[in-house]
Each structure stands twice: as C-alpha cells, then as structure tokens.
Amino acid sequence: MILRLQTSTRFDLAKTARSHGWVYLAPFRWERGTLSWIQRGHLRRSYRVSVEQIASTALRVLPRANPSLTADERRALLAAVSRVLNVDLDLSEFRALARRLDPRVARFVSAGGGRLLRGASLFEDLVKTLCTTNAAWSHTENQITRLVSTYGQPGPDGRAFPSPHDLRDASEQDLRTQARMGYRAVFLAALVRKSLDWIDRPDWNDARWLAEGLPGFGPYARAHMDVLLNRFSEVPWDSEVRAYAQEQLGIPVANEVRAKMLLAKRLAPWGDWKFLAFKCQRKLRTAGERMK
C-alpha cells in the first residue's frame, strides 16, 4: 500500500527532517533522503512507515504493515505524518516578514524550509523535551532509546514510541532502572498520569493544560514545547543557543538574564516569529560555514 500526501506550498523533506534533533532519537531514522519511524497502529500493532519526496508539493508515504492498514489506520497515519512534518503550518506571514528583514530566510522558506520536525504525538514531544532538560545529548539519546525498547508497542521492524497507556504501569523505580531517567522519573510518571486524564479530551493537542503547570517543565521546557506547537515568540535557552549567541552573534553570556534580553532585543523585529527566524538564520549560517 502506498499513500500520497499533498502539501499546499513547496515542501522540502530533507530540510524538515534535519531541522530538529528529534531525527536522531528513536524511533526516527533518516537515510538517503527517506524519513522513517515505527508508527503505532490499531489492534496493538506497530509498523514501519517511510516518507519520501516525489515532487515539490507531494510526499510518498509507504506503510510496511501486514495485513494492510484499515481505513481508520490510514487516516490516523496521514494525520501522524502531517504532524511529524508540520505540513499544515502556514508560513506566509513569516515569509512576507522575512522578505523585508532577511531575504536569505525568505528564500529558504520559499524553497520548502522553515518547519520543525516533531513527534508523531504531543505526548512524544513532551517526553522527549523532558529528557533534554539538564542532560547531555548522549544521555537524552540513551533515555529515549531505553524508553522505546522497553515500553514501546512492538512490531516486526521495531517498537513505536510508547503511549501514556504503555507507561501506565511503569513505576518511578522502573523508569530509573529501565530508562536511566534519574530524577526525571518522578516527572515522567506525573506526566503519564496527567496525560491519561487528558488524552481523550478535544483540546488535548492544543496543550492548554500545559498552562496549569507540569512538574519538571521549567522555563526552557515550556518554551521548547511552545515552538513545537508553532508558537515562536520566545527562544528556548539551552546550551546550544547559549554557545551560538556568544560565538556567532557576539552576545556575552556571563550574565544569562542580560544575554537573553539582548537576544530578544536583536530578534524583536520578528515579533511572534522570533524563534523561527533565529532557527533559520542559524541553519543558514551553519550551512555557510560548512561550504567555506
């Protein structure tokens, strides 16, 4: 079975797949122009899905499922692919602003860039964000690999990212031992409990409930979740942003509060698109450095 996903504007799969560190975390895989992951299906099964670019506004979606997907599973899969690739994000306002403020960014967006890779579900983004807090990237990778391999829904090609239901019976001690989550185990257990209460509500994917506060989600984690929900008015401050601000933008970071203010002031003309502008400019500058 082969499915086709049409995009309303030009879309670049490679730019999107490599836009975010999630591509290096299980269950994602990026190889020779193909993005794949293990997708959770119905009837307690999982299968690998591969996405390839076939035109500037079209993607081929290949689910390796046996038996073939049901109609409900096909709809759920296309919704998941759309979420992962953020294809419904309207960048027309951002592109118009970029034409005035930074034509390089405008050209990048017009060529199909500007979207961030996301998880197949809001819960996946929440868990992965939690696993990036106060952790080296290698530790984040290890935590996610262990979570998927221990708790994910199994299939012939691997395991899908675990759902709140998969983690329902995992104790804090289990999460510390099996996933090496350390102090984050208590926060993940709390997230699972809250997700189980909210996941069937119509506003689940709006994440309005984040405003109520989640244990373990401080300013960085909340800002990071905002950008994954296409709210770009704030730049999540992590070690990579800190290094880039100092080394590439000349912003002294000894005083973190002042450094954040200076970065926000520099990006102020971008209004509600600050982070996306920062991300695109950083991507373009890094690409330029590699070509020298």
Taking 80 as the threshold, does the pLDDT of residue 210 lie above it?
no
Q: Which tokens sit at 163? A: 């759902």
Highest CATH level, class, for 3-89: alpha beta
Distance in angstroms (rounded) separating the CA atoms of residues 38 and 28: 7
pLDDT of residue 289: 40
Which CATH code is given to the segment(s) 123-205? 1.10.340.30
**Residues ≥6 apart with Cβ < 8 Å to 249:** 263, 266
pLDDT of residue 95: 98
pLDDT of residue 203: 63
pLDDT tens per residue, range 248-289: 889 988 888 898 888 999 999 999 999 999 999 999 987 654
pLDDT tens per residue, range 30-48: 999 999 999 999 878 999 9
Of the chain, the percentage scoring pLDDT greater than 70 comes to: 94
Taking 60 as the threshold, does the pLDDT of residue 52 lie above it?
yes
Q: Mean pLDDT across the stretch 213-220?
A: 87
Taking 80 as the threshold, does the pLDDT of residue 176 lie above it?
yes
The pTM score is: 0.93
What is the residue extent of each domain of the chain? 3-89, 123-205, 239-291
The residue that leads in pLDDT, 285 or 207, is 285
Distance in angstroms (rounded) separating the CA atoms of residues 220 and 225: 9
pLDDT tens per residue, range 54-108: 999 999 999 999 999 999 999 999 999 999 999 999 999 999 999 999 999 999 9
Distance in angstroms (rounded) separating the CA atoms of residues 197 and 185: 19
pLDDT of residue 290: 41
pLDDT of residue 102: 97
pLDDT of residue 100: 98
**CA–CA distances in Å: residue 111 to residues 56, 83, 214, 278:** 9, 20, 37, 18
**CA–CA distances in Å: residue 247 to residues 55, 140, 241:** 38, 24, 10
Taking 90 as the threshold, does the pLDDT of residue 158 lie above it?
yes
pLDDT of residue 291: 32
pLDDT of residue 292: 31
